[in-house]
Amino acid sequence: MNEQQSKKLDSKVPAGPLAEKWDKHRFDSKLVNPSNKRKFTLIVVGTGLAGASAAASLGELGYNVKAFFIHDSPRRAHSIAAQGGINASKNYANDGDSVWRLFYDTIKGGDYRAREANVYRLAQVSEAIIDQCVAQGVPFAREYGGVLANRSFGGAQVSRTFYARGQTGQQLLLGAYQAMMRQVDTGKVTLFKRREMLDLVTIDGRARGIITRNLLNGEIEAHEGDAVLLCTGGYGNLFYLSTNAMNSNATAAWRCYKRGAMFANPCFTQIHPTCIPVSGDHQSKLTLMSESLRNDGRVWVPLKAGDKRPPSQIPEQERDYYLERRYPSFGNLVPRDVASRAAKAVCDKGMGVGTTGQAVYLDFAEAIGRLGEAVIRDRYGNLFDMYEMITGENPYKTPMRIYPAVHYTMGGLWVDYNLMTTVPGLFALGECNFSDHGANRLGASALMQGLADGYFVIPYTIGNYLAGGGLDKVSADQEEFKTVMAEVNGRIGKLLGIKGKRDPRDFHRQLGKIMWDNVGMGRNEAGLKTAITEIGKLREEYWQNLRVPGEPTTLNKYLEFAGRVADYFELGELMARDALHREESCGGHFREEYQTSEGEAQRRDDQFAYVAAWEFKGDKAEPEMHKEELKFENVELKQRSYK
């Protein structure tokens, strides 16, 4: 470490042996008496897996919950798109799994940039998540004898991924949604649909409410509460093209950052190796082909650069199964960051396939030959159908063409062990926090984390916060709310008042290109400096030349996007700044200056074994970086190897 641990970041990790920390912490935490719980009102923003599971659990405990979301139904949250599965260390496959192994794989998979205590807790509660979901009726795949089935995901040598065909997120979300709706029925949870949180209200330094815009009639509303739980998902859409749902955005988290919540490791972005490649300038969305496909699909490119023959005419000996060649022990199931970089490397050398040369093959011929088409259809039928609908090619007959794309953000609001941000009373759950995945998330671990946070962590830690006292009653009529409402109205007026020539999506597309070219899969000092300058210029033009047609008092998608894109400019610059300062390669952050002779990521633990948490210092000032030193007492820091 070249600087001391920041005094502003107290991770509140409990003392004691790793395996006992969570139990001890739960025992040491204060409780809220059952009859006092109904005196508290909790604001939950977002009802994807993290938010719906939190709202359901907190309602069940007896708290009053107000749940806000931008969609018309909680079932439309981005979580519904999750395909491949959810990890848990049940060891049903009897292949050597354990809490300890899931913990170890996650720390190693994250390239040693996550907090040990959080990750261990995640592995511990993973087993309870599966029990909870089964009890709710989530239809996980089963073996012939009835036991839940497992498959493998990247970065693990055991099969620990529970799944419901290629629709795991949908089924889990239906489970959480039903549990939440039960509480809606009892009156403990109140839903506020089609509301976008546009700001946070703090009183005496504590989070006490939010300002929302009703997306249907434009009304700006103030809502008070005793704590605010942000469950608003990730910010991958900043890159314009990503696998995220179109409505995923960074606004709520970003506005909280500007109210004092530090933003941790913003540059840690996951580029997923198996997505349908970009086919032209017209696209606004990329489609994921689940990692589960790498259980049976083999990745290859032609051995010879520029080989344009169709795949069926390229004989075995003229193919390079480069993942199997480079990483014999993990083969096609290396973690995402490793697989993505390897795909980029072969394409950069001219071996890429398809019209753009920016694709590699994912080939099921061998598996179909071995298992039969029916088995493959049973495992991945809906994914194959989706691929065929988009590309017009039949993947049972010809290999899929895939290429890496932005998929997930490991960075997010900094939280302590209790999931509380640096603003007291503001908690962050699910993808919008930075907590458990370090510099690279392993496949099937996001659903696990979102549900761990919502079902099993926050119910304890929020009680400890509320029981700490000092929460006087506040009302949305108070001056503090009015002031923030006026600021929100002012900002909307400003966006509408520019009356320039370019619409927000046009700016967004250009921002996305700057980000992908310079803050994407490969990053270097010159590119990152260029990104900071170019983002600054484009942002200036945005505030001079933006065109937002329509009214503020009706459904106005342009206005919604305009606010989000304005936030993307600021967050994009912070991402570039964070990537520039981190002079090492780790996980999804690949600084080209720091690589081994074999092209692998080269960490610099003596300098960078810390979480970088950025503090907003004002629109005209540079943000200040704080460091949370990461201590590894239970795993040995090693060069990651999947060979």
Ligand X SMILES: Cc1cc2nc3c(=O)[nH]c(=O)nc-3n(C[C@H](O)[C@H](O)[C@H](O)COP(=O)(O)OP(=O)(O)OC[C@H]3O[C@@H](n4cnc5c(N)ncnc54)[C@H](O)[C@@H]3O)c2cc1C
Catalytic machinery residues: 336
Q: Hey, CA dihedral for 447, 449, 452, 453, is it positive or negative?
A: negative
Instruction: State the residue number with the nearest CB to ligand X.
Output: 48
Of 273 and 302, CB closest to ligand X:
273
Site string for ligand X, 570-609 (x = CB under 6 A): ----------------------------------------
Length of the chain: 643
Binding of ligand X at residue 450 (CB under 6 A)?
A: yes
Binding of ligand X at residue 44 (CB under 6 A)?
A: no
Q: How many CA atoms lie within 13 A of 170 on its CB side?
A: 7
Q: How many CA atoms lie within 13 A of 300 on its CB side?
A: 23
Query: Which H, E and C letters describe 376-413, residue by residue?
Result: HHHHHHHHHHHHHHHHCCCCCCCCEEEEEEEEEECCEE
| The one among 249, 332, 340, 556 contacting ligand X by CB under 6 A | 249
Of 68 and 507, CB closest to ligand X:
68
Residue 248: CB minimum distance to ligand X, A: 5
Binding of ligand X at residue 434 (CB under 6 A)?
A: no
Q: Taking Cα atoms as reference points, which of 235, 243, 295 lies closest to residue 272?
A: 243
Of 236 and 395, CB closest to ligand X:
236
Contacts of 595 (CB under 8 A, 6+ apart): 585, 601, 602
Residue 476: CB minimum distance to ligand X, A: 17
| The one among 252, 314, 535, 613 contacting ligand X by CB under 6 A | 252
| The one among 444, 546, 586, 630 contacting ligand X by CB under 6 A | 444
Binding of ligand X at residue 168 (CB under 6 A)?
A: yes
Residue 169: CB minimum distance to ligand X, A: 5
Neighbours of 606 (CB within 10 A): 9
Q: What dihedral do alpha carbons 382, 386, 392, 395 form, nearest 10°?
A: -50
| The one among 243, 270, 295, 340 contacting ligand X by CB under 6 A | 243
Residue 74: CB minimum distance to ligand X, A: 6
Neighbours of 205 (CB within 10 A): 10
Tokens for 257, please give them.
């950052």
Cβ atoms 587, 438 nearer than 8 A: yes
Distance of CA 318 to the CA centre of its chain: 38
Q: Which stretch binds ligand X (CB under 6 A): 245-253, 475-483, 549-557, 631-639?
A: 245-253
Binding of ligand X at residue 445 (CB under 6 A)?
A: yes
Tokens for 230, please give them.
């942000």
* 510-545: burial string, b at 16+ Cβ within 10 Å, e else: bbbebbbebbbbbbbeebbeebbebbeeebeebeee
Q: Which stretch binds ligand X (CB under 6 A): 257-265, 444-452, 507-515, 621-629?
A: 444-452
Of 108 and 160, CB closest to ligand X:
160
Tokens for 397, please give them.
């007959």
| The one among 9, 18, 44, 47 contacting ligand X by CB under 6 A | 47
| The one among 49, 149, 351, 535 contacting ligand X by CB under 6 A | 49
Binding of ligand X at residue 421 (CB under 6 A)?
A: no
Residue 63: CB minimum distance to ligand X, A: 19
Q: How many CA atoms lie within 13 A of 245 on its CB side?
A: 18
Binding of ligand X at residue 238 (CB under 6 A)?
A: no
Q: What is the DSSP string of 172-190?
A: HHHHHHHHHHHHHHHTSEE
Binding of ligand X at residue 68 (CB under 6 A)?
A: yes
Residue 334: CB minimum distance to ligand X, A: 17
Binding of ligand X at residue 408 (CB under 6 A)?
A: yes
Residue 425: CB minimum distance to ligand X, A: 18
| The one among 43, 55, 70, 415 contacting ligand X by CB under 6 A | 70
| The one among 150, 171, 202, 244 contacting ligand X by CB under 6 A | 244
Binding of ligand X at residue 411 (CB under 6 A)?
A: no
| The one among 46, 209, 412, 463 contacting ligand X by CB under 6 A | 46
Binding of ligand X at residue 48 (CB under 6 A)?
A: yes
CA distances from 178 to 43, 49, 138, 184, 222 (A): 19, 12, 11, 10, 28
Count of residues touching ligand X (by CB under 6 A): 46
Of 401 and 577, CB closest to ligand X:
401
Residue 151: CB minimum distance to ligand X, A: 11
Binding of ligand X at residue 431 (CB under 6 A)?
A: yes
Element (H, E) at 428: strand 426-428
Binding of ligand X at residue 138 (CB under 6 A)?
A: no
Supply φ then ψ for residue 299, to 5 degrees: -95, 130
CA distances from 63 to 221, 226, 227, 461 (A): 22, 10, 11, 14
Cβ atoms 263, 574 nearer than 8 A: yes
Binding of ligand X at residue 436 (CB under 6 A)?
A: no
Binding of ligand X at residue 612 (CB under 6 A)?
A: no
Residue 336: CB minimum distance to ligand X, A: 11
| The one among 447, 495, 559, 562 contacting ligand X by CB under 6 A | 447
> Do strands 269-275 and 400-409 pair parallel, antiparallel, or not at all (unpaired)?
antiparallel
The helix/strand/coil state of 342 is helix
Contacts of 602 (CB under 8 A, 6+ apart): 584, 585, 594, 595, 596, 639
Residue 17: CB minimum distance to ligand X, A: 28
Binding of ligand X at residue 69 (CB under 6 A)?
A: yes
Of 252 and 519, CB closest to ligand X:
252
Of 106 and 244, CB closest to ligand X:
244
Q: Which of residues 75-104 bind ligand X (CB under 6 A)?
A: 77-79, 81-86
Tokens for 130, please give them.
């599966």
Binding-site ranges for ligand X (CB under 6 A): 45-51, 68-71, 77-79, 81-86, 168-169, 195-197, 231-234, 243-244, 248-249, 251-252, 288, 407-408, 430-432, 444-447, 450
